[in-house]
């Protein structure tokens, strides 16, 4: 439901309404927010809508009830302001049945992997089961690979700062961090178009160049390294989204009439430059 109409979500899935699959609901919310300039929509779980008593709601969802109450919202009496979360990418790193990648001793588990245990539309149930299953399998496999008498890595040289100096202006890091998050949400979020993606790519390219200059001139900090990492990931996500022209699972292209629901046979590799830093 949105801020103007406190009713069942219709027009996107006329059969299931707001009980539709989460990719449909998320796209519906995102569309309504952008169309009407809303900061959020409302989720109504009051007894009048759910046919659950206030006590049943409190007992069934104690954590959610507590969080809402702490924010000044009583979900048993009023709708909850909500915004959709975005899975910018789902899968991608090929792993075998032991969770091992093609890089020796590098393992991957869960949403970052292309394991064959989940599809393009990520669901909480198979996400949890996969993490639990592969977590156990990977731990056992690592124990067979890792030598029992060698649990440390030797020979790593000390970090050399060279001629770099300490920056007196940390606002540059916080500014770029905020900018990357905002442009990814606004331009590479739940529903994508080539125009939005290209706009995001141009800005990310500029930020990457500024980060490269900063890296060689100033002593790096943890916040800066995290900024560098999320910008590199953003660059890869945008490159992948531009290559995939169709709508598939959680990846929605508004400018394409092609929707593919069949599983991918084989894999497609996106190769892009990440700078020389």
Per-residue tokens: 119: 């599809």
d(CA 127, CA 117): 9
Strands (E), the chain: 41-43, 80-82, 93-94, 113-114, 191-192, 252-253
Residue among 103, 134, 101, 100 nearest 117 (CA): 134
Q: How many CB atoms lie within 10 A of CB 104?
A: 7
d(CA 51, CA 64): 18
The CA-atom distances, in angstroms, between 110 and each of 93, 128, 198, 232, 235 are 10, 8, 29, 20, 21
Decide if 181 is catalytic. Answer: no
Residue among 170, 185, 235 nearest 208 (CA): 235
How far from chain centre, in Å, is Cα 246?
Answer: 19
DSSP 136-166: HHHHHHHHHHS-TT--S---PPPP--TT-B-
Write down the residue that tokens 């497609």 correspond to.
Answer: 268
Rg, the chain, Cα only: 23
d(CA 72, CA 124): 28
**Choosing from 22, 203, 212, 244, which is the catalytic residue?**
22
By annotation, the residues acting in catalysis are 22
């Amino acid at each position: 439901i949105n801020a103007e109409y406190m009713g069942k979500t219709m027009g996107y899935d006329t059969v299931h309404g707001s009980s539709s699959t989460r990719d449909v609901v998320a796209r519906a919310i995102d569309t309504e927010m952008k169309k009407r300039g809303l900061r959020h929509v409302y989720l109504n779980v009051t007894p009048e809508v759910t046919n659950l008593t206030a006590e049943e709601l409190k007992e069934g969802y104690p954590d959610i009830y507590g969080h809402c109450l702490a924010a000044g919202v009583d979900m048993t009496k009023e709708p909850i302001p909500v915004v959709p979360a975005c899975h910018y990418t789902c899968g991608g790193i090929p792993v075998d049945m032991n969770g091992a990648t093609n890089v020796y001793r590098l393992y991957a588990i869960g949403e970052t992997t292309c394991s064959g245990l989940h599809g393009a539309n990520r669901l909480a149930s198979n996400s949890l089961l996969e993490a639990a299953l592969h977590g156990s399998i990977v731990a056992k496999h690592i124990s067979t690979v890792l030598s029992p008498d060698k649990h440390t890595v030797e020979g790593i040289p000390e970090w050399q700062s060279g001629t770099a100096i300490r920056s007196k202006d940390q606002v540059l890091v916080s500014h770029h961090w905020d900018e990357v998050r905002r442009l990814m949400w606004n331009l590479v979020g739940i529903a994508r178009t080539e125009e939005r993606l290209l706009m995001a790519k141009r800005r990310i390219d500029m930020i990457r160049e500024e980060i490269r200059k900063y890296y060689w001139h100033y002593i790096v900090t943890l916040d800066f390294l995290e900024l560098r990492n999320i910008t590199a990931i953003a660059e890869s996500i945008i490159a992948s989204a531009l290559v995939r022209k169709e709508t598939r699972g959680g990846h929605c292209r508004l400018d394409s009439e092609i929707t593919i629901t069949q599983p991918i046979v084989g894999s497609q590799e996106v190769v892009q430059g990440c700078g020389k830093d």
